[in-house]
């Protein structure tokens, strides 16, 4: 049976209403309306996530407040919250603290971080953009990386979350780069970019957001201010990466050009520093060993130790040769 109408309704809200709800549900009806299972609803009651239902005879009667709370729990779970953190949020609501700012902050963080809009592409169009060749292995790799997403019920159609990223792959392939080499490069690049994103988040949390997130959950006003700050700071990571990437590309492109054209480069003087290309796995191994902030110092110290060791080897070898010459003389 579906929920049945009763008398005057109570206002919205997540806490149990003081009066009788406009619509009443048996637990099976509530499960159908909310999309949760009966077992899940009972588990939420046991954990204190749902208000206690009204008892009438042998039956429990649920109302609109229970349905609203179930829908909100489902929404927060989908956003990545745990049941424990959801309980904290709902307890704050029940204590009279607003959730508007908190939910606004959640929406701001979970919203799109780019103005780029997703697109769709058929398998035929995809093959044509990559020279007409069919490469199932490359398609599978692109799906695994999230460059393409399969559309349910349409095996020959894909969602493209980032058309720009796909366009880069098309241009690289047209320039002669194999598809699997492109996907391998993307894997490596993604790991490095995720490290940058993590560091930027740690940096802004320490210096900006810590003041707003001192309470668990944050107050409604603090959460609203934090959401506003997210909107302001969101473009900064992209702008910083763009500027630094442009600087690094110019520097390394110039070095590569000099190397391949045989142009002599001036010797490094005194305390002058100069970038050195290292394999990504080497950099990652050093980072895992000493931390991201100490990679440069570790590499410099290791290089200096190697130079000193080789110098000592040369000196010892020269001395040994000199002794042998003296003995023969």
pTM: 0.51
**83 occurs within a structural domain:** yes
Confidence tier at 2 by pLDDT (50, 70, 90)? very low
Cα distance between residue 113 and residue 230, in whole Å: 10
Q: What's the confidence (pLDDT) of residue 317?
A: 65
pLDDT (tens digit, 9 = 90+) per residue, 5-59? 343 333 333 333 344 446 889 999 999 999 999 999 999 988 888 888 888 888 8
CATH of the domain at 41: 1.10.1660.10
| Domain's final residue, options 220, 248, 276 | 248
Mean of pLDDT over the chain: 79
Share of the chain above pLDDT 90, in %: 22
**254 occurs within a structural domain:** no
Q: Which residues pair with 54 in a beta bridge?
A: 61
Residues 127, 67 share a domain: no
Q: Which of 88-92, 191-195, 241-245, 257-261 has the lowest mean pLDDT?
A: 88-92
**262 occurs within a structural domain:** no
Residues 321, 239 share a domain: no
218, pLDDT greater than 50: yes
Check residue 20 and give left, alpha or beta (phi > 0: left; psi -120 to 50: alpha).
Answer: beta
pLDDT (tens digit, 9 = 90+) per residue, 110-165? 777 787 888 999 999 999 999 887 788 889 999 999 999 999 999 899 999 999 99
Parent domain of 67: 4-96
Residues 201, 83 share a domain: no
Residues 194, 315 share a domain: no
Q: What's the confidence (pLDDT) of residue 120?
A: 94
**257 occurs within a structural domain:** no
What is the signed CA dihedral for 255, 258, 260, 263, rounded to 10 degrees?
-150
Residues 228, 139 share a domain: yes
Residues listed for the chain:
329
pLDDT (tens digit, 9 = 90+) per residue, 289-323? 888 888 888 888 888 787 777 777 676 665 555 55
Residue 318's Cβ-count burial label (10 Å; 0-12, 13-18, 19+) is exposed
Residues 58, 162 share a domain: no
Residues 238, 123 share a domain: yes
More confident position, 247 or 75: 247
More confident position, 229 or 267: 229
More confident position, 272 or 34: 34
* Tokens read off for 145: 């990386």
**260 occurs within a structural domain:** no
Q: What's the confidence (pLDDT) of residue 16?
A: 39
* Count of structural domains, the chain: 3
Cα distance between residue 264 and residue 287, in whole Å: 32
């Amino acid at each position: 049976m579906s929920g049945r109408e009763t008398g005057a309704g109570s206002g919205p809200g997540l806490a149990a209403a003081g009066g009788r709800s406009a619509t009443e549900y048996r637990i099976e009806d509530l499960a159908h309306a909310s999309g949760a299972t009966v077992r899940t609803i009972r588990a939420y009651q046991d954990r204190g996530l749902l208000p206690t239902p009204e008892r009438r005879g042998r039956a429990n009667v649920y109302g609109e407040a229970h349905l609203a709370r179930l829908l909100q729990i489902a929404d927060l779970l989908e956003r990545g919250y745990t049941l424990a953190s959801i309980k904290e949020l709902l307890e704050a609501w029940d204590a009279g603290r607003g959730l508007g700012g908190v939910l606004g902050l959640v929406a701001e963080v979970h919203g799109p971080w780019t103005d780029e809009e997703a697109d769709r592409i058929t398998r035929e169009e995809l093959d044509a953009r990559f020279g007409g060749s069919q490469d199932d292995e490359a398609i599978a790799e692109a799906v695994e990386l999230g460059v393409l997403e399969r559309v349910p019920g349409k095996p020959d159609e894909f969602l493209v979350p980032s058309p720009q990223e796909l366009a880069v792959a098309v241009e690289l392939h047209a320039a002669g780069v194999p598809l699997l080499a492109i996907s391998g490069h993307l894997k490596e690049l993604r790991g490095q970019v995720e490290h940058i994103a993590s560091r930027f988040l740690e940096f802004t949390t320490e210096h900006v957001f810590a003041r707003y997130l001192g309470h668990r959950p944050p107050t409604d006003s603090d959460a609203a201010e934090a959401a506003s700050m997210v909107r302001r700071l969101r473009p900064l990571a992209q702008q910083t990466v763009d500027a630094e990437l442009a600087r690094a590309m110019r520097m390394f492109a110039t070095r590569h050009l000099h190397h391949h054209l045989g142009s002599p480069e001036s010797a490094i003087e005194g305390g002058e520093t100069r970038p050195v290309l290292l394999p990504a796995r080497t950099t990652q191994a050093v980072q895992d060993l000493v931390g991201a902030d100490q990679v440069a110092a570790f590499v410099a110290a290791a290089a200096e130790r190697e130079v000193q060791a080789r110098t000592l080897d040369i000196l010892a070898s020269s001395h040994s040769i000199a002794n042998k010459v003296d003995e023969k003389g």
